[in-house]
Every structure is written in structure tokens, then in C-alpha cells.
Structure 1
């Protein structure tokens, strides 16, 4: 994928809106954009299949912390020995490691600019993943103030179930969902 040998996938985080838990722990769920959420970490392959998901952390948790604490982060940290073991691509919210490549923050030469360009083109697969199924499953919907109306623990289960449904839809060749603003032009069948 765009010049990255041994790539095992891309990693990215997203925030899924939830209702305030209402307890003193509720402030832990307020993210940097000042709304209650669960910080969801996802890895995907080049086909857009979700290869791992972590939906256990409140919105205030930093992406780097979620990664360090995740099963994939722990496994790579303990067992990764060389490039042949594979690498992940992540954005600048993650630490650059031998198994997790991030972009140069300030590219200073043509080689670094080419690297950043390839990194960005490859990282698009996971950003596309969030966009494709966002309207299909409520757990990935962040627009228009929608949120999951369950306790945080149950929200995590719903998010993981949505990831499974996403993978099944991809494997079965289901069509991608149209963005909401395009849906108004699609005729509704009479039986609905």
C-alpha cells in the first residue's frame, strides 16, 4: 500500500457520543471537544476490514494511552522484533515506534515529504472505513448530535457489535450506505 512494506494495517481513533454517565466518573467521558464519548481505537487492513477494536476507554483517554493499553499495542510491544513482523500506520496522536509509523510533523526535505504523502494516502483506508459505515450503524454516527443512550459498558458492546456487522457487510459485498444528504433523493419502496 503506497510503498510501505510489511504493512499489517492502519490504526485510528474516533469518539462515539454517549449520554453522560451522570456519576462523578462522568467527567472522564468528556473528550477534548467537550462532549461525552467513548474513545474507540480501530485497526483495519487494506480492504477496510476491522482487524482489531478497543471500545473500553472513556473519551478523556488519549489515543496513545488507549494504544499502549490495548491488546494489539501490548502484543506488538512485547513481540515485535523487526520490520518483517509488520508495522501499523497511525496519525500524529500516536507515538512513533518500530512497529507504529507516524508522519513527520515538520517535513524538512523531499524524502520526508514523500514519506508523509505515502503515509497520508495509505492512512485514508481507515478514514474511509469510518465514513463508509458511519450512517449505517449508530455507534459510528457523530453528526447531528446523535449518541448512544446506554450505560458506557453497554455502549462498548454495541460499538463492537457494529464492527462485526461492518466486517460481515464487507465480506458479503453489501453496498456502501449513501450519505444522509443523498438519501432524500432515493425512492422508498412501497413495502416499507
Structure 2
């Protein structure tokens, strides 16, 4: 108990003090607001150190400010209002460290409550205003381009996306439904489905299912179900083995996407210590910013390869497929991979 609180309770027990006097004295004893200096990060760090701390380049951060500034600007500049630039940098710092929100707030001289409000405001703004940056190929030209890039990996034809799920750790949400979020590894999580392209760009994301939900349930209730057409079977013929090898190497890009995404924003690679209602905007906004980095060709900060494993430890459990999809797989092996195998043997 601090001295002010102790003095307040002493006055309450005193017979000589009226209620009005106690209240007036307590108001006078309340801690005054402290406005700490906020360093200018754009001037403090060079480009390399800036990217190391905020994961995005100065140019990209300034672009975000220009695009989102009107949504983040406070109605008044009184009481040391937090500028849009400071709000974005504070949020990026939280994404980059994965620590407590208060730690990011301390860096900017901002209280814990203010830091919490800022982080979730920026996350929701990014996840709603830039959601168009996460989209499946639309035009026929874009579809052909995506297929060509996948084909260049392992010569697997007609692929427009690699799909998998990853668990984003969260705190126990509490309440009657808390156990729904406990996954098979006995940790609380959001099971997040992602479709990635050959450039490691996230093309589709579903970040709303509790950790106990099976991958196949998420897939069967997603809009990209029709894009999956393979199953886990033991290969028998050389053509089937070639098909499996090509398929594994091709879908490997989604595992690499998880690794790069979580290395770039460690907050989703460790544990999100926020309320459940704030988890989804953070997951989606980091996915959007990841895509933005891919589009702007921004590399990971130096020395980040060891933070999170490049490959996910989770095994993909593919859903069972219908007979017509199984027939498509068999036809593909017969009409495409068998001739390819014969051509390789002839050479």
C-alpha cells in the first residue's frame, strides 16, 4: 500500500474527519498524470535497426500512416494525444516482440490501458481496411500466373494454393467454453487455416475456430473446400510415388509461409496474451502485413532464422474426399505422372 492510500484509510478511521473532507483530501492525494517523453523512432534508428525492431521498413510504415491516419487520428491534441504514427509503431512493436502489451507501452511512454486500446484499434483497422490484400486469384491471367509458379516447384499441374492449419496460442479465455480452445497438445489456441501461394503470400485465412476443432472440420466449412483434391494414401506404383513426391514438395510452401509469418511477427509464434475478442484482428492484421512485405519485397530482419522453426511440427491431416475427387487423382496419375515417369526413364 502506498503512502497516499495509507493516509486515506487513516482519515476514514478518524472520528474528526467528515466524509466531504476525506473525499476532498483523497482527490488532492491522487497520483498526478505523468507524460513521459516519446522518442522519435524514425530519427532514432537507421533502416536496418528500424526493421529489426518494427519488422517493416520506414517507407512502408509511412505508407500505412498515409492510408490509415484518418481512421486513427484523435479528435483533439490535448493531453499528449497519441499520433497515428506512434499508434502504428506501438502496434508493430507488440507484433515484433510478442511480449506483454505494457512492455510496448513503456517503450513509448504510454500507460498499459492506453497501449491496449491502441494495439486493438490499429489491429481492427488494418484487418478491415486492408482485407483486400488477402484474396484468392481472380482473373484468368492471375490464375495462370499462380499455377505457373507452383508448377516450377515440382511440376505439379493446376495448383492455385497450398492449404494447411496452424495453431496460434492464446491464454485460456475462461468461462464455460474455455475447454473448446484446448488443442490436442493440451494448450489453448485458435486453429487457423491458411491458403498460401508459391510466393508465400497468404491467399485465404480462417481464424475463428477453437483449438479443439479438427482441421477437416475447418476445411469442410470453408469457401476453399473445392480447391483441395488429394488424400493421404500409401503409394503403390512408381507413378503414384512420383505424384506424392511432387504433391508434398508443392504444398511445402504453406509450411514455409507459417514459418516466415511467425518469424516476422513473433506475437503469433509465441502466445497472444490478449482477450479472446481481440485475437482474430491481430491474426488477420499480421497476415495482411506479411502479404504487404511480400508485395514490397521486404526481407526478414537479420538473424531471425532461429526464432521459429521454418517447418511446422504439426502434421497435416487431410479430410477424406469424395469418389469423384479420388477418380480425378487417379486420372492425374495415369494421364500425367505415368507419362512423365516414362519420359524420365527414357532419358
- Class of the TM-score when normalised by the shorter of the 2 chains: 0.7 to 0.9
In 2 relative to 1, CA 181–18 (structure 1 residues): closer, same or farther, beyond 3 Å? Answer: closer
Q: In the alignment, is residue 174 of structure 1 matched against residue 298 of structure 2?
A: yes
Structure having greater relative contact order (Cα 8 Å, sep ≥ 6): 1
Task: Please list every run of 5 or more consecutive structure 1 residues that lacks an aligned counterpart in the other structure.
Answer: 77-98, 183-192
Q: Could you tell me the TM-score, scaled by structure 2's length?
A: 0.42
Whole-Å Cα distance in 2 between the matches of residues 58 and 116 of structure 1?
Answer: 31
1:163 aligns to what? 287
Q: In the alignment, is residue 45 of structure 1 matched against residue 171 of structure 2?
A: no
Whole-Å Cα distance in 2 between the matches of residues 180 and 3 of structure 1?
Answer: 30
Deviation at 1:4, TM superposition (A): 2.5
Q: Could you tell me the TM-score, scaled by structure 1's length?
A: 0.74
Structure 1 segments of 4+ aligned residues over 4 angstroms from their partners:
none
Out of 185, 189, 193, the residue aligned to residue 33 of structure 1 is 185
Deviation at 1:139, TM superposition (A): 4.5
1:135 aligns to what? 263
Deviations 1:115-169 (A, max 9, x none): 110011101111111111212213430xxxx310112231111000010000000
8 Å CA contact retained: 1:103, 1:115: no
Out of 148, 158, 162, the residue aligned to residue 272 of structure 2 is 148
In 2 relative to 1, CA 155–51 (structure 1 residues): closer, same or farther, beyond 3 Å? Answer: same
Task: Please list every run of 5 or more consecutive structure 2 residues that lacks an aligned counterpart in the other structure.
Answer: 1-150, 309-347
Whole-Å Cα distance in 1 between the matches of residues 202 and 219 of structure 2?
Answer: 15
Deviations 1:65-98 (A, max 9, x none): 111212333xx3xxxxxxxxxxxxxxxxxxxxxx
Q: Max radius of gyration: which structure? A: 2
> More deviation in 172-181 or 53-62?
172-181
Deviation at 1:103, TM superposition (A): 4.6
More strand by share: 1
8 Å CA contact retained: 1:15, 1:40: yes
SS in structure 1 of the partner of residue 224 of structure 2 = helix
Whole-Å Cα distance in 2 between the matches of residues 4 and 135 of structure 1?
Answer: 28
8 Å CA contact retained: 2:261, 2:287: no
Deviation at 1:104, TM superposition (A): 3.5
Whole-Å Cα distance in 2 between the matches of residues 158 and 24 of structure 1?
Answer: 24
Q: In the alignment, is residue 69 of structure 1 matched against residue 221 of structure 2?
A: yes
Whole-Å Cα distance in 2 between the matches of residues 22 and 174 of structure 1?
Answer: 39
Whole-Å Cα distance in 1 between the matches of residues 222 and 214 of structure 2?
Answer: 12
Q: In the alignment, is residue 117 of structure 1 matched against residue 269 of structure 2?
A: no
Whole-Å Cα distance in 1 between the matches of residues 184 and 290 of structure 2?
Answer: 27
2:236 aligns to what? 108
Whole-Å Cα distance in 1 between the matches of residues 271 and 258 of structure 2?
Answer: 16
Out of 139, 161, 169, the residue aligned to residue 9 of structure 1 is 161
In 2 relative to 1, CA 105–153 (structure 1 residues): closer, same or farther, beyond 3 Å? Answer: farther
